[in-house]
Amino acid sequence: MPGDVVFVEKEPGSAACTTDQVHRFERDSRMSKLVLVLKEFDQPRADEAYTICVDGAIVNGKTDANGKLETRIPSRARRGRQLVGKPEVQEEYVLDLGHIDPIEEASGVEERLRNLGFASLDEFQKKQHLEVTGEADDTTLARLRSEYGC
């Protein structure tokens, strides 16, 4: 988003470049962290087996006590597949991967609400037993961040 500040967690380096020209730099790592929180009827799907397939890479694991899973995926990946549950009754989900705006932006709030299955902020506030104002106040944003996982 315009005005964002980017922090790079790496020792500074240098590159010899000609002035008055455009140069392109890419980070060394080609991997990003994928974080998902699995819930069913608002309850975490704890200790749930999963398989994630992204760009030919397959990762198997189990969610934590909060239904959360974290794994590394290729940074440029845009689609993937997730299988959840026991092999005889697995559920399959298509993963549309990409950028989500910061929660402080209206677009970031809307994206999170949509991903959680809510049509409006009012609906989310009502379901979470918050004051229904339709406004993204601090309490609502904190709950949305908690429910979404980021």
CATH number at residue 40: 2.60.40
Give the pLDDT confidence of 52-109 residue by residue, as tens digits.
999 888 999 999 999 999 988 888 888 899 999 888 889 999 988 877 888 999 999 9
For position 13, what pLDDT does the model report? 66
Q: How confident is the model at residue 149 (pLDDT cuts 50, 70, 90)?
A: confident
Whole-number mean pLDDT of the chain? 85
Distances (CA, A) of 15 to 18, 20, 47, 60, 82: 10, 15, 46, 39, 40
For position 21, what pLDDT does the model report? 80
Assigned domain for 21 exists: no
Q: Give residue 62's region: left, alpha or beta (phi > 0; psi -120 to 50).
A: beta
Assigned domain for 10 exists: no
Assigned domain for 115 exists: yes
Rounded to an integer, what distance in angstroms lies between the CA atom of residue 41 and that of residue 36?
16
User: Could you tell me if 46 and 78 lie in one domain?
Assistant: yes
Assigned domain for 12 exists: no
Domain with 89, as residue range(s), is 31-96
- The structure's pTM equals 0.59
Assigned domain for 65 exists: yes
Rounded to an integer, what distance in angstroms lies between the CA atom of residue 7 and that of residue 5?
7
Counted domains in the chain: 2
For position 8, what pLDDT does the model report? 56
User: Could you tell me if 77 and 122 lie in one domain?
Assistant: no
